[in-house]
Structure 1
Amino acid sequence: MGSSSSSYNEFDSVIMQYDPYETHYEQAIIRPKPLREHEKPQDLRNVPGTPGVDFPIYHSVPDTSFSCDHVPVRPGMYANVETGCQAYHVCHDGREGQQGASFLCTNGTLFDQAKFACDWWYNVDCSKAITLYKLNADPYHNPFIPKPKPEEHEEVPAHELRPSHGLRPSHGIYYRKI
């Protein structure tokens, strides 16, 4: 088969016909129900303490002045002290906006900055949250920072350790250099 312009091409003879199928749409007006109508009321009788007094009872994350621009480490998880620590934010790469991804602990619980988790309100001291923000730099606390792999810890003989450690070599015991 030569390459002439008059050569037969099977695609030249195929004519595609578009035959759309008929669709019918009914006009509908969708109005979401107010939040309180479609949300079941919470039963807080089994939570010790007085709701709204001993612990906050938000139904959604409120607007606050929290900003990921003022946190020490990204990525990280940060209690929002303006909400009494019921809300917390995950600051990452900025795609979630200035406040990061915002979350709300269940009523009766608060975000514990020391544990990076929600806990019962009586176990959390929200006044210490900001001073604990620095824990985000620790890979063993911050779930977003990869943990060092075991092979990254090399074992060295005790006699190779610096004397400032106060350790002395004894009988070939090896200490882990961290």
Structure 2
Amino acid sequence: MSDFSTRNADGSANLAPMSSAWWLGDQCMLGMNTASQTTRNMLREKECVLNLPSSALGGAVDRLALLTGSPERTPHRIEKGYRYEPDKFGAAGLTPVASELVGAPRVAECPIQLECTSLSAHRFDQADRATAHTVRVVRAHVDEELIVPGTAHIDPDGWDPLLMKFCEFFGGAGRLRESRLAEAWRIPQPVR
């Protein structure tokens, strides 16, 4: 789950919740509605910020759920109860902070903020309802409390991300077991 910030054509900020993402190295594939303001902004600006909220931010993300940054709502969005909101940061009770390498602002309250540039955008389905965006992380901002001391790795036990499964929020998941993959990749584990 992430809060996806982009910049509108007039330079103002847009913020949207987004749950369709998968990662490989410094690249991420993002899936989103083709008609969304976020997709329009991504296609025009070629950049964004992925703000990764902790589970404590579920309420703020939920306040974004039925908002749109576009005054023109599709029939589907009208049916679902979406309303136009030009100040999504304010509506969610979140604080914009300037990015270093991209124009879109970061969300101050998110413990991980990833400034990204667009590598590609492709139609995901024949009906053109979804667009798959590939982005590259060009700058990462991570709360020091989440870093394994003496490394550049995030402490998996200290990071409690907000997750979405079937449109419901989840958090607080603990480690199930040690991973041989983490050992093979020499990912440091914090001493407990």
Q: TM-score, normalised by structure 2?
A: 0.22
**TM-score, normalising length from structure 1?**
0.24
Larger radius of gyration: 1
Q: Hey, which of these two has a bigger chunk of strand by percent?
A: 2
